Amino acid sequence: MSHRPRWRSVALAAALAVSLPLAVAAQDASTDDSSDQAPPIEGLGWYTSIDVAGTEIESAFTQDEVEQWTATLDVAGATVEDLEYTYQRIIDPETLPQLGGLATVRIAGAPEDAVLAAVLADVSAQAVALGAEPTTSEPVTMGDKDVVRIDLPEELGPDDAFVYVRGDTAWLFIMQESLAELGLQELP
């Protein structure tokens, strides 16, 4: 069974699109629920490349990826019907490089520790699927938030990831620590 990292494959494909139009760089304002929006970082653009919920994942992802989602949700004691997933790319609209991404994972009704365990297990499984060692993580404080830093192997890119969980929602920042910290300041 072949697994490709859902959040990294999207991010890496976007990085190859060097002629991304500025219109795409505008912050996505398609939702009124502030917990689902990307945390604004002044001067940067956000582009939503994936936004699915529940059984929509069956048409948005390959069968292997659906199986990977199912395994992730099993860790939280949840099913696909409980899932809401968004992946947003962050770019610098002036120079157009992709600076990272933000995956938002909501597992409806799941406790914080189960959401965190599911996200950590998923990231580690994606690293292993690419031939890397399982990821390691450690709790850290960034600003006024308790987060978990995930040491990502080179196969998953140059930056580490930072997970912040509140309630049944996790925000997975895949970007430089300084940018992640700015984004975290805007979350509840």
Report which of residues 93 and 7 the model is more confident about: 93
Give me the mean pLDDT over the 55-65 stretch: 93
Mean pLDDT taken over the chain: 82
Cα–Cα distance for residue pair 76/116, rounded to 1 Å? 9
When pLDDT is cut at 50, 70 and 90, the band that residue 127 belongs to is very high
Whether pLDDT at 41 is above 90: no
Predicted confidence (pLDDT) at residue 32 exceeds the cutoff of 80: no
- Residue spans of the domains in the chain: they are 6-28+37-185
Among the residues of the chain, which ranges form H helices? Answer: 6-16, 22-25, 57-60, 63-75, 112-129, 177-185
**Which residue, among 27, 46, 168, has the nearest Cα to 107 in the 3D structure?**
168
Cβ atoms of residues 110 and 76 within 8 Å: yes
The pTM for the full model equals 0.80
pLDDT one-digit tens code per residue, 62-121: 999 999 999 999 999 999 999 999 999 998 888 878 889 999 999 999 999 999 999 999
pLDDT > 90? residue 47: no
Residue 178 in tokens: 């300084």
